Each structure stands twice: as structure tokens, then as C-alpha cells.
Structure 1
Amino acid sequence: MTFLSPERLWLLALAPLLAAAYVLLQMRRRRYTVRFTNLALLSQIAPKHPGWRRHVAAGLFLTMLVLMMIGFARPATSVKVPRDRATIMVAVDVSLSMMAKDVPPTRFESAKSAAKKFIRELPARFNVGVVSFAGNANLVAAPSADRDAAIASLDQLVLAKRTAIGEAVFTSLQGVRSFDAQASQDPPPAHIVLLSDGDNTTGRSVQEAIAASRAAHIPVSTIAFGTPYGTVDIEGETTSVSVNKETLKTLADGTQGKAYEAADSGQLGEVYANIGSSLGFKTEHRDVAARYTGIALLFALAAGGASLAWFSRLP
């Protein structure tokens, strides 16, 4: 628990002072009573000793004061609320190496299917955008809650030469910063999911992308598509296109994301789970002073009721 006005808690120091004053008054009454040496006369002028009951009303009243003091300091409890600005950027590699069939039917078709499945399963509170990258990177679907638009953009992707992983990260970061009018100053919580076979052959380096992502506090999780034995036919020539898992893992680890492999469907299931836990909710402090005020009122009523029942007066 936290307090929204903690400086008011100094009032609690008055509670032990009031308790001490009450004890002193009781001791003073006892000494005053002992002065009467004529016990017969004392029994006639003093009512029957109330015993422990006289302390009950005082204890309830003091508890009520303590609760009111705590409520005055505005106690707050931490609650999780959905982040309706949370944004996922899905970056898909459209380089020619993605034509390799070592991940059937091809790396490219497998990546698109995985991206579509991922987007469909995102909860409604997430916004999603799509970036494609080959020799350069393009924002093909601006981040929004429109799942159909994001999925449709994946069907329009076309393969091209070279691979610019670094540029894909920079374009994704720019997509996050342009999410809404306040995003440039207050960017939404975001995560980038990059699907690729791993080589960065042009544009800004992976290390530059890592530095930019860390500065923006946006992790990049990667999904590697391919095996060491992939090949593609380009202009009649067969070219080996081994997957570069190390590059993707370096990017993920450097940005505090996670590195996954498309061959492991169990791992792919973790992608949403990890992102959902980090972006799905934010913690807010909600004032619960009314709760303490209500309990204090119950103690006040109990104190008054006990005093009226036993002594025919209010405390």
C-alpha cells in the first residue's frame, strides 16, 4: 500500500498521546477515589464501578480516530488496468532468401502465416502495425486496432533483393512514434516482433538498431525462419541461404526481447505470452480512503452505542 498524501501521516503521532492522556486520567481518578476514607459514604455517592466496560468505548473511539487519520493521508492500492495504447509492430522479411523451401512451403509463406496467426490472437486492447523489409523498410500498415487491415497488408507483400534488418527496426520505432498525436512526446508501450532468416546485408547495422531500441525502451523479439541447408534459385543460379540465428539472437538479447525459432511451435506460443505480460497492463494507484472512512464510521457507531448502552451518554 502507498499513500497519495503521506505528509499527513504525522497526525498518527497524536494517537499514542491521546492514549497516554487517557491512561493518566484513569490513574488520576483512581488516586482521587482513594482519598475517601469513609467507604460507606463513597458507595453512596459513586455509582457501581463499571470495570472493563468503561475502556471499550474509549478504545473504539481511539481506533476510529486512527482510521480517520489514515484515510486523511489518502491510502492507495496498486491495481492493473489495460493499456489501450499498447502497440505491437510486426516486421516481416521479404528478401529473396525467404523463397527457400527448407521451411515448407517456403520461409516467406511460413512467416506470413505465423504473422497472421499472431495478429489474430492478439487481444483487442493491442494495436498492431506491419513493416516489410528487404533492401529498405516500409510501413505497410500503420498501428491500429484494425486486425483486418494488418492481415490484408501481409497478402500484398512482394519479395525483393537484400535484407535491411536494422532499417526494419528503425521504421518500426518510427511507426510507434507516429501512433497518435501524443506519441512523439509520450510514446505508447510497444514491442517489435521481427520475422526473418537473419542476415543484415544493407542499411544501418544491427548494433545501431539495438541502441535505438534501448533508447526508446522498446524490446525486439525475433523469430528465425530457416535451416543451415536452405537454398534459392536466383536468375538460374542456386545460392545457399543459411539462416543466421546469431544475428537475430544478438538483436533480441541486446534489446531485452526474446529469440525464437519458427521450427519450434511451442516457443512461438510464448511470443504472445511474454509480450502480453509486459504490455497488457499498467499499474495505477487508486485512492481507497473511502474504505478507511467507512470502517472508521463503524467504529464510531460502535463506540457511541456502547457508551449509550452502558453509561447513558456519548463518549
Structure 2
Amino acid sequence: MTIPLLGTLSLRGFTHAWFFLVLAAVLALLAAYVVAQRRKRRRALRFANFDLLASVSVPRRRRWRHVPAALLLASLALLTTAMAGPTDNVRVPRNRAVVMLVIDVSESMSSTDVAPNRLAAAKEAGKRFADELTPGINLGLVEFAGSATLLMAPTPDHAAVTASIDTLKVAERTATGEGLFTALQAVAATADVLGGGDGPPPARIVLESDGKETVPADPDQPRGAFTAARAAKEQHVAISTISFGTPDGTVALGDTQVPVPVDDSTLQTISEISGGEAFHASTLDQLNHVYDTLQSIIGYDSVPADASAPWARLSVLILVAALGAAVVVDRRLPR
């Protein structure tokens, strides 16, 4: 829960949970307060003139006289929560990460079922993704049709990747496995160069394609897409796939319109094997939305961070309210 001026009150975990033992003291104070009030009432009733008491009693004051004490106890409980060290997840940029953008440029990508055509829309969305990717991430680019080409080795210069995306052109056939193997080689080479850290840099492949692999015919063959996905899993490189297009796509071959429906199943299997996520987009807006989602997944790590300050501020605020209520109701500090 987020409170203006105070911050987000989070209870995702505690670094000093043993501080909650202090709540026993708060409960003891509550019990002592209840006992003291009952004894006070018994003494008052023992010696009171009931006719006189009824004529001078003030119902409103009786009703509100416990508010200062209640606020004070609430303040102590909140302070105890703050001392227990609550944590919240904070997004931290992945400055050492490696991301390979692998884009299909096979002939089916010239289909106009996505305006102006699949490849043009893919290029526009890919450039937007590169421009908005977290600074410091090493981004690379691979194109594939009948073979695969590393157009840009992973680099923090995202503008260079954007310029490379502009050079993508349609070619024949679809060798998805070759595209993935080329990306994995680039990831391994970059990991050797980067060094540092406690292990290899986190890496991910983003595969955007619209059709079934044609080279080889069986994706389980040594250079096939499913084999590449298993290799990625062994190297701890998840593959996020984007199947782009509609079931109604066609391309012109001479005077004939050849159907090129989008193939979701192959790309979904690739993502499942490697441990990544599968997305589908049939418009440029949907494709941009998918890339926005990938930005949050790829660009940042969620790490626990201290979140005690909002609880402490709320505790102080309620303590001030308790003192104010004591002045208004009892004309003295709560006891």
C-alpha cells in the first residue's frame, strides 16, 4: 500500500523478524491499561454519589478518552514493524546483461497482413526496443533466413544496433536453429570479454519470427531450432519468442498468393524448452506492447531492499496524533 508523503508500506520479508518479540511488551501495556481503567472505575463507583455522578458526567468525554492510549499503542506497534526491517523488491538495472535480438527475414515476412508488412513492422518495433532498452545492457542483432548472420555483436551502443536493424532485407527459406546458434556463440564470446561479477553475465535471446522452420525440415536435427533451444537451456540462456503475424497472411509468388499463416506452436515449444516466455502479436501495437513487457523482464533485476522508512514515518505521525488527542480529550499526555 502506498501512502502519499509516507511511501509504500511493504511486508515482503523482514531482515530482523525477531524484533516482533517487542510486540509482547505492547500487548502487556494494553493489558495494563485495561486493568488500570477497570480499577479506576471500581474506585469511582465505590465512593460515588450516583445522583451527582449522573448530573455531571460527560458522555462524549467518556467515549473518546481511550483514543490517545489506542493511538500510542498503534504507534508502538508500527515502530516495532519498522525495527523488524521490512523489505520490498526494487528494480535494479542489469548493466552486465547480454540480450540478442534474433529476427526472421524469410520471404513470409513480406506478407502485408500486418501493415505495411511484417518485416517493416518488425524493424520499427525492434528499433524502438533498442532505443528504450536499459542503458548499459549489451545488445546484439542476428538476422536469419536460409542462413544466419551476426549483424551486430553485443554492445552497449544501442544506436548502432538500431542502424543495423534498418539494413534487414527479405531472403529465402527459414533456418531458425542457425539464428539461435549464432546468437548463442555471440553470447559466449561476450561473456568471455566482459568478465567480472560472480559468474557469467545474465543473457537472453529474443526471437521474432512468423513461420515454421524449413532448414532443416526437422527442428530436432543437429542444427534445428529445438536442438538450439536445448543448447540454450544448458547455457542458462532463456529464449523469449514472439510469433508475429496473422493466420491470413499471404505472399505473392508470380501470379499466385501463397498462404503464410503465423506459426505459434514451434516458437512456443522453443520458449518452453529453453525456459523463456512465448508471446504473440498480430499488429504493430501488440508487438510494441510485447517489447515493453520484455523491457521489464530483461532490463531489470528485482532485489530486496530496506522498506522500514515508511513504517517509521507512519509511527511518528500516529504518535503526534496521540499527543494531540491527549491534549484535546484529557488535557494531558496519555497514561
Pairwise TM-score range, normalised by the shorter structure: 0.5 to 0.7
Which residue of structure 1 lines up, in the alignment, with residue 69 of structure 2? 58
1:24 alignment partner, one of 22, 30, 35: 35
Which residue of structure 2 lines up, in the alignment, with residue 192 of structure 1? 207
Q: CA deviation at 1:54?
A: 4.2
Which residue of structure 2 lines up, in the alignment, with residue 235 of structure 1? none
Which residue of structure 1 lines up, in the alignment, with residue 237 of structure 2? 216
C-alpha separation between the residues in 2 aligned to 1:155 and 1:301?
A: 62
Distance 1:306-1:206 versus aligned 2 partners, 3 A rule: closer
Does residue 275 in structure 1 map to residue 291 in structure 2? Answer: yes
Distance 1:139-1:303 versus aligned 2 partners, 3 A rule: same
1:288 alignment partner, one of 280, 283, 307: 307
Q: CA deviation at 1:134?
A: 5.5
Q: CA deviation at 1:53?
A: 5.2
**Match of 2:215, as an amino acid?**
N
Bigger drift between 177-186 and 271-280 goes to: 177-186
TM-score calculated relative to the size of structure 1: 0.68
**Match of 1:210, as an amino acid?**
A
C-alpha separation between the residues in 2 aligned to 1:101 and 1:19?
A: 71
Matched residue SS, 1:204: coil
Does residue 250 in structure 1 map to residue 271 in structure 2? Answer: no
Mapped contact 1:252–1:259 kept (Cα < 8 A): no
Mapped contact 2:111–2:118 kept (Cα < 8 A): no
**Match of 2:132, as an amino acid?**
A
Please give the root-mean-square deviation of Cα atoms over the aligned residues, in Å: 4.4
Q: CA deviation at 1:187?
A: 0.7
Q: CA deviation at 1:295?
A: 2.2
> How big is each residue's C-alpha offset from its partner over 1:136-182, in whole Å with a ceiling of 9 and x where there is no partner?
53422023353442244356679999753212112223434536446
Distance 1:250-1:154 versus aligned 2 partners, 3 A rule: same
Matched residue SS, 1:8: helix
Mapped contact 1:169–1:209 kept (Cα < 8 A): yes
1:34-49 to 2 correspondences below 5 Å: 34=45, 36=47
1:54-93 to 2 correspondences below 5 Å: 54-78=65-89, 88-93=99-104
C-alpha separation between the residues in 2 aligned to 1:204 and 1:27?
A: 83
Matched residue SS, 1:280: helix
**Match of 1:219, as an amino acid?**
S
Q: CA deviation at 1:269?
A: 3.5
Gaps of 5+ in 1: 105-109, 232-240, 261-265
2:225 alignment partner, one of 203, 206, 214: 206
Matched residue SS, 2:66: helix
C-alpha separation between the residues in 2 aligned to 1:99 and 1:58?
A: 76
C-alpha separation between the residues in 2 aligned to 1:133 and 1:121?
A: 20
Distance 1:90-1:16 versus aligned 2 partners, 3 A rule: same
> How big is each residue's C-alpha offset from its partner over 1:93-115, in whole Å with a ceiling of 9 and x where there is no partner?
56xxx5799758xxxxx676444
> How big is each residue's C-alpha offset from its partner over 1:113-136, in whole Å with a ceiling of 9 and x where there is no partner?
444322322242255421134665
**Match of 2:239, as an amino acid?**
I
Mapped contact 1:85–1:189 kept (Cα < 8 A): no
Mapped contact 1:197–1:244 kept (Cα < 8 A): no
Mapped contact 1:77–1:286 kept (Cα < 8 A): yes
1:106-121 to 2 correspondences below 5 Å: 113-121=120-128
Bigger drift between 297-306 and 176-185 goes to: 176-185
C-alpha separation between the residues in 1 aligned to 2:321 and 2:173?
A: 79
Does residue 4 in structure 1 map to residue 11 in structure 2? Answer: no
> How big is each residue's C-alpha offset from its partner over 1:174-209, in whole Å with a ceiling of 9 and x where there is no partner?
434536446863414552324677312385122212
2:182 alignment partner, one of 163, 168, 171: 171
Mapped contact 2:69–2:334 kept (Cα < 8 A): no
**Match of 1:250, as an amino acid?**
T
Which residue of structure 1 lines up, in the alignment, with residue 6 of structure 2? none
**Match of 1:150, as an amino acid?**
V
**Match of 1:116, as an amino acid?**
K
C-alpha separation between the residues in 1 aligned to 2:290 and 2:296?
A: 10
Q: Which has the larger radius of gyration?
A: 1
Distance 1:140-1:182 versus aligned 2 partners, 3 A rule: farther
Bigger drift between 77-86 and 283-292 goes to: 77-86
Gaps of 5+ in 2: 1-9, 272-276
Matched residue SS, 2:242: strand
> How big is each residue's C-alpha offset from its partner over 1:220-261, in whole Å with a ceiling of 9 and x where there is no partner?
224479847647xxxxxxxxx986955x7413343142356x
C-alpha separation between the residues in 1 aligned to 2:207 and 2:122?
A: 12
> How big is each residue's C-alpha offset from its partner over 1:76-103, in whole Å with a ceiling of 9 and x where there is no partner?
4456676666765333456xxx579975
